[in-house]
Structure 1
């Protein structure tokens, strides 16, 4: 006799609030955040069925197609999905008072060599960490600033004016590119490719 039970959803290892149900006929992914659930399936029938199953267990309502979630703006098209944080990016620029400053053309100059700057003038660690934290969340959809923010994040313990100048430069770059994001094409290769150019030999600090 054939077993009619569905495959048991697997829980994410890195993200314990992510659940995946991989069946022969469909793929269902559900992300839980506090009292919100974002889910999608490769078939409309399974998506609707999942909603009905959840509604039996919890008091909930279907908001509709995903368009905005935790600062992420999602545009779903036939060709793929575009994820951006335009509203969040503009809020960052305004929050740190750089909305009227000249835009920067790149996140960081290729000639910039940050170091501990032991003799430099100290700045508010609270301000510096607040900027870094805000920018780190922006990297969710902005891989173009990930390296620059990562380098600046190393100096949160004893941040100096030289470090603050660079993070403000990144924000000025964001100010000129708030609508940038990540495009996931329906027809592109699903495999993730990463590249690294780490010049540790050129490190000024060690």
Structure 2
């Protein structure tokens, strides 16, 4: 085997997706910090305002992320169930969860920007950037052959953890502070 065909360690295949994910996270963070917040709310029909919209769409994303965890455990044999096409449920629950986060993130960045004036909001801003960075990393790693299977569990677990922290610092905070509103 000549040097052009040398086999690289499989973990190195993660470097490019990680670099792109880091770039996405940093870009969102820099934009959020430099962008002058407009204060204009993003409105979605069916919600009384931007805060209830953000709380409920993030809650929906979290429920779908729980379906992601369940379906991943079934796919990897950790939950011994015979569920044909569980991969379809996994992919579509992930797609829908991600789509639910987009209007929320857009509102946060466009109307509010990144803020660091309180610990809750600072954590929320930083973890929001991290979430999109790790999501980018996972999506770019998925089609690459040779990446170790543990990497997908780690990336998925990090994305799930980030979404839980986002939910705790936004939706749960809103629902316990202002009550259940739509």
For the aligned pair, the TM-score class normalised by the smaller chain equals: 0.3 to 0.5
Q: Name which structure has the greater RCO, CA cutoff 8 Å, separation 6+.
A: 2
Query: How high is the TM-score relative to the length of structure 2?
Result: 0.33
More strand by proportion, 1 or 2? Answer: 1
Query: How high is the TM-score relative to the length of structure 1?
Result: 0.31
- Rg bigger for which structure? 1
